[in-house]
Amino acid sequence: SAPLVIVGAGQAGAMAARALRELGHAGKVVLIGDEPHAPYERPPLSKAVLADEQPPDVNLLPEPFLAQSGIVLQPGRRVVRLDAARRELHLDDGAVQAYRACLLATGGDVRVLPALPPGTPGVHYLRTLDDAQRLRAALRTARSLLVTGGGFLGLEIASTARALGLDVTVMELGPALLGRAMPPEVSRWLAARARAHGVRLHLGAQPSGLVPVAGGIAATLADAGVLRADLAVVAVGQVPNVALAREAGLLIDAGNGGIRVDERCRTSAEGVYAAGDCASGRDAATGTHRRLESWQNANEQARIAAAAMLGQDAEPPPPPWFWTDQFGCNIQMLGHGAPGLAYRLRGQFPEGRDPGKAMLFGIEGGRLVHVIAINAGGDLRAFRSVLGRPLACAPEALADPGIPAKQLAR
């Protein structure tokens, strides 16, 4: 019979292929990806791949594993059309691939500023390994960098560039850093920390002209005049890659632009599944749909989709978890924030300085819904099993660093 086919050989695609084998599927698995590389991990691309003398190995499916597993990896091929009724995929070289079940793991593309299309001299976007290698080389000869976008990605790149000795400016449109993901306490602390590391930070920045000029890039800011830099990185978000799904008539969520899936990663078309950054998954706790752009979500949905493709049940996913490394701190979080959520603080957030270990607990209706840990990943882990559940301890106890995390997370 026709094989199981995965479109997109990134984090979710690779992990789904691996999971199909781990779940005992012995039949043919085809993994099609349009990048020239074998599947690789993206989180190091804005961190060690840019910073380290010896960039780390980011390969997700090493050659010996591929050979032994019999997964058919087809890099450098692009799927241009999905025919869900006939269960066929059309490729850019004219070939047609039939499938028994198909997983869309197509991720997302960087959001592009129309005035600075990719390829503009001195302008970088970061999504792929090739992007990272170009940026890595450029950071080694430039003296100054202008980062547009104070989100996780922009801040990680700014942090890395400062560590490499560049003069760094970050422009963020919003009034705060990570304003939607983090409470104001963390946004303020992070802004002070970036500044303490020598980053020039412009919040609420509406650059009126971000233009290539001879030898670099220039931006005009209402409050700071004209800024010039040798290099620009634009990190203003991602657009989910859903063209195949949309053209095939699959349900797309208007709110977040992702391919709508149920808790088993099934799309609205029979035999078609979706996972990772391109999917709008159903949160079992709230019944709402969310599109998450995270390493853990890609891995979890890959595992769940693989089981569903084989007609098997899967354990529900653990609470959403995300991390970022910047300005010498490791920041991790569980769950999601919401505007106006009340937080309990454990530890200190000294202005601009490394707080050592610190945590924040977002509590809503007596339940813990969001936990943020600075340099305290081990303590955060203890709260995985209690997220979303009524708090067993007094909320004040969370703020007492004298009480071990394990004791609170019961």
Closer CB to ligand FAD, 42 or 202, in the complex: 42
- C-beta of 124 vs 227, nearer to ligand FAD: 124
Burial zone of 270 (CB within 10 Å; 0-12 exposed, 13-18 middle, 19+ buried): exposed
Name the minimum Å distance from CB 58 to ligand FAD. 10
**Minimal distance in Å, beta carbon 107 to ligand FAD?**
2
Q: How far is the CB of 286 from ligand FAD (least distance, A)?
A: 21
Taking the least distance from each CB to ligand FAD, the nearer of 110 and 219 is 110
Q: Which stretch of DSSP H or E encloses residue 187? A: helix 184-196
Question: Which of 378-382's residues contact partners 24+ apart within 8 Å by CB, and which partners?
Answer: 378/405, 379/405, 380/332, 380/333, 380/334, 380/405, 382/406, 382/408, 382/409
Q: ∠ CA(330), CA(184), CA(324), 5° rounding?
A: 20
Nearer to ligand FAD, 227 or 295 (CB): 295
Binding region for ligand FAD (CB under 6 A): 7-13, 32-35, 42-43, 45-46, 78-79, 105-107, 126-127, 153, 241, 244, 276-278, 293-296, 298, 322-324
Q: Which is nearer to ligand FAD, 33 or 122 (CB)?
A: 33
The least CB distance from residue 76 to ligand FAD, in Å, is: 9
Strand segments, DSSP code E, in 195-312 are 200-203, 209-213, 216-221, 225-229, 231-234, 238-240, 259-260, 272-274, 279-282, 289-290
Please state, in angstroms and rounded to a whole number, the distance separating the CA atoms of residues 324 and 321: 11
CA distance 358 to 368: 17
Identify which of residues 60 and 369 has a Cβ nearer to ligand FAD in the complex. Answer: 60
Closer to ligand FAD by Cβ: residue 221 or 231: 231
Question: Closest separation between CB of residue 151 and ligand FAD, Å?
Answer: 11
* 261: nearest Cα among 315, 301, 319: 301
Of 311, 245, 325, nearest in space to 278 by CA: 245
What token pair was written down for 364?
Answer: 């809503």
E-strand ranges in 56-186 read 72-74, 79-83, 88-91, 96-98, 101-104, 108-110, 123-124, 144-148, 167-172
As measured in angstroms, the least distance from the Cβ of 278 to ligand FAD is: 6
CB of 273 or CB of 295, closer to ligand FAD: 295
Q: Which residue is nearest to ligand FAD (CB)?
A: 10
- Closest residue by Cα to residue 356 from 336, 382, 331, 376: 376
229: CB partners within 8 A, 6+ apart:
142, 144, 145, 146, 167, 169, 216, 217, 218
Least distance between ligand FAD and beta carbon 150 (Å): 15
CA distance 2 to 272: 14
- Min CB(154)–ligand FAD separation in Å: 10
CB of 284 to ligand FAD, least distance (A): 20
9 or 391: whose CB is closer to ligand FAD? Answer: 9
